Amino acid sequence: MFSKVLVANRGEIAVRVIRALRELGIASVAVYSEADKNCLHLELADEKVCIGPSISAKSYLNIENIIRAAKETKAEAIHPGYGYLAESGEFAKELEKEGFVFIGPSPENLQLAGDKLIAKKIVKSAGVPIIPSSPDGVGTIEEAKKICGTIGYPVMIKASGGGGGRGIRICDNEEALMEEFPVAKMEARAAFGNGELYIEKYVVEPRHIEFQVLADTSGNVIHLGERECSIQRRYQKLIEECPSPLLTPEMRKAMGDAAIAAAKAVKYLNAGTMEFLVDKAGRFYFMEINARIQVEHPVTELVTGVDLVKEQIRLSSGGQLEYSFDDLIRRGWAIECRINAEDPDRNFAPSPGTVEEYQAPGGFGVRLDTHLYQGYEIPVYYDSLIAKLIAFDLTRDRAIQIMKRALGELKISPIKTTIPLYLRIMDDPQFRQGEFNTGFLKNYLLGKDEEEEF
Amino acid sequence: MEVRALMSGVFYRKPTPEAPPYVEVGDQVKKGQVLGLLETMKVFQKIKAPVAGKVVEILAENEGLIKDNQVIFVIETA
């Protein structure tokens, strides 16, 4: 086991990792930017090193400065948290070269996870279903018609150069395809400087369900069940839960097996997540690999009793997996709400500033992962996630009751947060029944939700 | 006419570090023209000219911290 680990992150995830290190008896090194001199993770760590100016590109993304900090403090391993350098193959490779352990997947895993088309191809060859799609560069409308005839309508025309949901056109039939294809081509050329298009089957009102996996250096791969992540805004998850209200034991078995097959196909190491879309008929499709600890990992921890951050650390120091999903004593239901410093009444406008009043909830079934304290100034430089509130009980209904009670107790003023939105969702009949899909949040948005105008 | 920040954030004079600035002092701008970007908690907003005219002052540094309501540009209308 390591004797000292540097945590290359900030905020709640740095706090989370430093807590795990403390419990394992491992010394911790916190790093920080000039804007983060008063951030809570510095208080909790054994040592701290400033790694640069406030702007992330010059500090939390600065590989050179982070490696220098690791050398200065004689850390043996680096935990990257999520975001920043967590999925940078370059960073993992540099650390390897310098003799440090990267607590996470291999550099090769990270590179592959970043190349979604190749990852899908490999996973498909292992027998895992993927969303049917064309190869890149569908040139003519005749080609497009032929492809759509094979994969079946509705389809999405996507710009190869696009991303984040931009440049997508949905066609319900061949007539619509004839109309949309030339326009999409022109639009792609204008918007992305690249007129290449590809076509993918459009999954109507899907659910986003992902599986947590762990893998050791001997080739053992296990899964730890699913997380339901369908409540999203612009592909950003807001509420997650474990288990998913949708999955039957049979679906869980099939998807869990697929997650393990996908991880094995890419020779995955350490902790990761296999993301799937599930259509209305219950068919599932592999989407991508999240090669990191995820924001929503606590819901899995509460239901399985496995501390995923400690498992990451154990596996990266050569630990092996001597248990499987069936060995876990799983129970109850966990729900997480991501508390963001955003104003849901003003198109989710960011709300930085000083936390004048802070009151944390407590009591039965409540977990709060946060770096907040009274008087803390939330900087403008970083992500709006300021806390994760997780409720746990033996049933979903009871977990919702705990969440409502805890949301009511949590005071973070005068910062605007997503708490009022979550209070409404906890009473939403569809949410209560567990019947929702990735379009759920549209009912709670004000008109069109595209431009950044507040 | 003063152009103020609608919220605090980091000010950028150019779309990418390599690109030339959106505007320089002395430039004529159209109403609605992009003058710069404001990044607040990873969300980027365009700062647009509220009127047509000439940019006579740029009161913030590239990558500088801007306070809510701080004056960033001064535009002289014809």
The ipTM, to two decimals, is: 0.91
CATH number for position A188: 3.30.1490.20
CB contact under 8 A, A349 and B7: yes
User: How close does chain B come to A19, measured CA to CA in Å?
Assistant: 25
Chain A interface, best mutation among B10, B38, B40, B70, by max A CB count within 10 A = B40
Cβ contact A386:A372 at 8 Å: yes
Count CA within 13 A, CB hemisphere, residue B75: 24
CATH number for position A357: 3.30.470.20
Residues of A in contact with B5 (CB under 8 A): none
Closest B-chain CA to A35: B65
> What digits encode the pLDDT tens for the residues A365-382?
999 999 999 999 999 999
CATH number for position A26: 3.40.50.20
Count of helix runs (H) and strand runs (E) in chain A = 14, 22
Number of domains, chain A: 3
Let me know whether A348 and A315 are in one domain: yes
Residue range of the domain that includes A20: 4-102
Cβ contact B59:B74 at 8 Å: yes
| Pairing mode of beta strands B2-4, A342-343 | unpaired
Phi/psi of residue B6, each to 5°?
A: -80, -15
**Mean per-residue pLDDT of chain A:** 95
What strand order describes the sheet that includes A270-278? A284-290, A270-278, A207-215, A221-233, A236-242, A333-340, A385-393, A366-370
Let me know whether A317 and A214 are in one domain: yes
Distance CA A343, CA A348 (A): 5
Give the pLDDT score at A194.
79
Instruction: Classify domain B2-76 at the CATH topology level.
Output: OB fold (Dihydrolipoamide Acetyltransferase, E2P) (2.40.50)
A339 to chain B, any CB pair closer than 8 A? The answer is no
Let me know whether A433 and A404 are in one domain: yes
Cβ contact B15:B47 at 8 Å: no
> What digits encode the pLDDT tens for the residues A17-39?
999 999 999 999 999 999 999 99
Closest B-chain CA to A56: B42
Let me know whether A241 and A389 are in one domain: yes
> What digits encode the pLDDT tens for the residues B37-62?
999 999 999 999 999 999 999 999 99
CB contact under 8 A, A352 and B10: no
Q: Is residue A131 part of a domain?
A: no
Q: Which of A16, A169, A233, A292 is catalytic?
A: A292
Q: Number of Cβ pairs closer than 8 Å across A and B?
A: 42
> What digits encode the pLDDT tens for the residues A130-167?
999 887 778 889 999 999 999 999 999 988 777 656 67
CB contact under 8 A, B8 and A383: no
Q: A257: buried, middle or exposed (CB in 10 Å: 19+, 13-18, 0-12)?
A: middle
Give the pLDDT score at A267.
97
Closest A-chain CA to B66: A380
User: How close does chain A come to B73, measured CA to CA in Å?
Assistant: 19
User: How close does chain A come to B30, measured CA to CA in Å?
Assistant: 20
